């Protein structure tokens, strides 16, 4: 009972503080064609990003109710509750625990109706940093939906340097630059060397967009 109360308090207080801070931020979208395609025309898709920007991403995309894979750890419980408050659909699992069941649940969610979205971090839940895993490629292959690298950056951020991913949190009134890479589509039977090549290609594209946005925003990624 005490732990459930702790989860509830922390997630709700965090959500309140996040909304207070993030609502002051200005977001500049650098790929309005994708906004039109996915948000205005309502096409389903799968987003993938790096772990460093997860907190703002969960806030910003909560309005489109994405299914998001979140680990079954204690920290994951906080994130899952936070995501649900923001409007998202938490699906519990990770590359190390419950991943296959979570992918099946996310695939079912995506295919149940139009304008459905899913997302997760490619290098989570424990890294290594900026090293992609196969989960979202498998989900895109299973559903036939496009996989879209998403990224944001800002100069005025707090960086949690003691975290493995160097978590970024925008400061009040920060200007946030948001963009996306090229879409990827995969055959349903992708595996072996083709999967490894797809993984390298996705990782390179995520890093390309990250570096491009960091240069635009003036953010300096800590070592």
Domain spans of the chain, in order of start = 2-217
Q: Which residues pair with 149 in a beta bridge?
A: 48
DSSP state of 23: T
Q: What Cα–Cα distance (Å) separates residue 129 from each residue in 8, 49, 163, 168, 207?
A: 29, 12, 10, 13, 11
pLDDT bin (cut points 50, 70, 90) of residue 69 is confident
Q: What is the average pLDDT across 143-151?
A: 95
pLDDT at 191 over 80: yes
| Residue 152 predicted with pLDDT over 90 | yes
Q: Locate 45 and state its tokens.
A: 């898709």
Under a CB-based contact definition with an 8 Å cutoff, are residues 149 and 49 in contact? yes
Look at the alpha carbons of 165, 73, 94, 31 in this order and tell me if their dihedral is positive or negative: negative
Q: How far is CA 187 from CA 100, 106, 197, in A?
A: 18, 18, 13
pTM over 0.85: yes
- Tokens 């997630």 -> residue: 11
pLDDT of residue 218: 97
Rounded CA-CA distance 183/209 in Å is: 12
Residue that wins the pLDDT comparison between 17 and 222: 17
More confident of the two residues 99 and 96: 99
| Strand (E) or helix (H) holding 119 | strand 117-121
Percentage of the chain exceeding pLDDT 90: 68
CATH topology assigned to domain 2-217: Glycerol-3-phosphate (1)-acyltransferase (3.40.1130)
* pLDDT score of 122: 94
Crossing angle between the packed helical segments 74-86 and 2-22, to the nearest 10 degrees: 50
> Across residues 107-133, what is the average pLDDT?
90
Of 89-93, 111-115, 169-173, 200-204, the poorest mean pLDDT is in: 111-115
Which tokens go with 206? 């995520």
Q: Give the count of alpha carbons within 13 A of 182, CB side only.
A: 9
Residue 89 pLDDT: 92
Per-residue pLDDT reduced to its tens digit, 7-32: 888 889 999 999 999 999 999 999 88
pLDDT at 95 > cutoff 70: no
pLDDT at 96: 63
* Assigned token pair, 213: 């946005």
Distance CA 60, CA 27 (A): 10
**What are 201-216's pLDDT values in tens digits?**
999 999 999 999 999 9
Q: Outline where DSSP puts E strands in 43-105.
A: 45-49, 67-70, 89-92
């Amino acid at each position: 009972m005490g732990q459930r109360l702790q989860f509830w308090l922390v997630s709700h207080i965090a959500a309140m503080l996040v909304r207070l801070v993030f609502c002051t931020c200005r977001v500049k979208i650098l790929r309005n064609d994708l906004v039109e395609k996915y948000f205005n025309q309502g096409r389903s898709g799968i987003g993938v990003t790096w772990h460093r920007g997860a907190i703002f991403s969960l806030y910003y995309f909560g309005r489109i109710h994405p299914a998001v894979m979140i680990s079954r750890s204690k920290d994951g419980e906080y994130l899952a509750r936070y995501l649900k408050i923001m409007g998202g659909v938490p699906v519990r699992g990770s590359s190390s625990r419950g991943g296959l069941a979570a992918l099946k649940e996310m695939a079912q969610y995506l295919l149940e109706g139009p304008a459905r979205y899913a997302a997760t971090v490619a290098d989570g839940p424990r890294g290594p940093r900026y090293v992609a895993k196969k989960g979202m490629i498998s989900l895109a292959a299973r559903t036939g939906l496009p996989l879209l690298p998403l990224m944001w950056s800002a100069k005025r951020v707090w960086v949690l340097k003691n975290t493995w991913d160097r978590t970024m949190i925008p400061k009040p009134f920060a200007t946030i630059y948001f963009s996306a890479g090229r879409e990827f589509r995969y055959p349903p039977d992708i595996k072996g060397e083709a999967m490894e090549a797809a993984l390298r290609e996705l990782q390179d594209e995520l890093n390309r967009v990250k570096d491009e946005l960091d240069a635009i925003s003036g953010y300096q990624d800590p070592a």
